Amino acid sequence: MTNLLPGLPADMDVTNRFVLDFAVRHGGRVLDYGCGAGALVAAGRAAGLDIRGADTYYAGSNARTQAEAAGLLGDAVVEMRDGCIPFPDASFDLVVNNQVMEHVEDLDAALAEIRRVLAPSGTALSLFPSRDVWREGHIGVPFAHRFRKGSRVRFEYVLLLRRLGFGYWKEQAPTARQWTADKLAWIDNYTRYRTREEIFRAYGRLFESEFREVDYIRFRLCDRPRRAFLTRLLDVPGAPGAAAALFRKLAFFVIVSRPR
């Protein structure tokens, strides 16, 4: 896959552009599951897609307010209650979710709902990290999600790395200590990291899946013309598998699934 489609929003992050590119290529009726503020939905509609969004809008985000302010909530974007996607069975040809499944408490239930609203010949695209990832992507501190919740060792480790300059959203707390307390509480309340094996089992119960990290890597390289020459390295025997394995440790899975 290469990033050749015209009109992808320049101000959208590369991962959302990858998802939008996949959706445009796939076509049909599209659902963005866990759509947040609806940026992908708005961009998809501007690109001519028949796309809707759905989200539960948990308390750790202000995405609902943003979707409402953008005029998307209630029409282009709908709110889910009790984990139920408010659309009939087989409503969509493609369901995408980007950095969502690590926030879902009951993965089996979420996948069952996605399977329900997918057409029998439909496709699901999932991008999200497992517990095995090295970098905790929400607060920007490596391995912050690997420690036991509430442990003193975890707190001191994250505090040390924060003082060394690691971490995101530093302006949200007056001190490094307060930032550490706040961000660890956010991880504990709003993320559910699972092992590779747990993820494979959950997807395997309902879907046939393949892993497409290499497609994402190619897309990302082509998105940066100065690095596009590196795509040739992926043609070296053995390189795609090694690149995908490393990418899963550094970032996330890219899973393309079809109903069993």
What are the average pLDDT values for consecutive 10-residue runs of the chain, which has 260 residues?
59 93 96 96 94 91 92 95 96 98 97 98 98 96 96 98 96 96 96 97 98 94 74 87 95 97
- Model pLDDT, residue 228: 66
d(CA 246, CA 20) in angstroms, rounded, equals 24
- Model pLDDT, residue 67: 94
d(CA 100, CA 191) in angstroms, rounded, equals 9
Length of the chain: 260
Q: DSSP string of 72-130? A: -BTTTEEE-BTTB-SS-TT-EEEEEEES-GGG-S-HHHHHHHHHHHEEEEEEEEEEE--
d(CA 144, CA 183) in angstroms, rounded, equals 10
**Can you give the residue ranges of every domain in the chain?**
14-131+193-259, 137-190
pTM (2 d.p.): 0.92
Q: Assign domain 14-131+193-259 to a CATH class.
A: alpha beta
